[in-house]
Amino acid sequence: LFLNELEEILELTQPEEFEMVYKILFKRIGEAIGSPHFQIAERALFFWHNEYISSLIADYRKDILPIIFPALQVNSQNHWNQTVSTLTLNVLKIFVDIDSNLVEECSKAFEIEQERKEEKKKKRAERWALITKGG
């Protein structure tokens, strides 16, 4: 319901108004895209089917894509629902078509962040092993 109402509001939003809210808004939309509940993720990905909203997203892509890229990347590889995976790949393709360099930058930043998280997890496990071993 929230995403349906949001789409209706965005259709009436002027670019100046959109500029005031899009960063916070796309943090929430990114969470919806990454939802394991297929209807929520699917509905969030349908925003790109709306021509006006899609054009707003394209205009502000340099700020929006870095916010939602992690959810898109994870969905494209791991979402259990095939429809969500396909919609995610379609959205990624839209971004590649309009700004492939930005997608590449976001992909590299995502990989670096994943490596940093993995290293942090490994160090935590090593410290825990020392604690439990040392008594």
DSSP string, 55-76: HHHHHTHHHHHHHHHHHHHHHH
pTM value is 0.87
CB count in 10 Å sphere of residue 92:
19
pLDDT in 10s for each residue of the chain, 135 residues: 799 999 999 999 999 999 999 999 999 999 999 999 999 999 999 999 999 999 999 999 999 999 999 999 999 999 999 999 999 999 999 999 999 999 999 999 999 999 999 999 999 999 999 999 875
Tokens, residue 115: 């490596």
To 10 degrees, what angle do helices 61-78 and 51-59 make? 110
Single-letter amino acid code for the residue at 7: E
Task: Please tell me the predicted confidence (pLDDT) of residue 135.
Answer: 56
Task: Please tell me the predicted confidence (pLDDT) of residue 1.
Answer: 76
For residue 134, the Cα-to-chain-centroid distance in whole angstroms is 42
Task: Please tell me the predicted confidence (pLDDT) of residue 133.
Answer: 86
Question: Cα–Cα distance between 23 and 13 in angstroms, integer?
Answer: 15
Single-letter amino acid code for the residue at 36: P
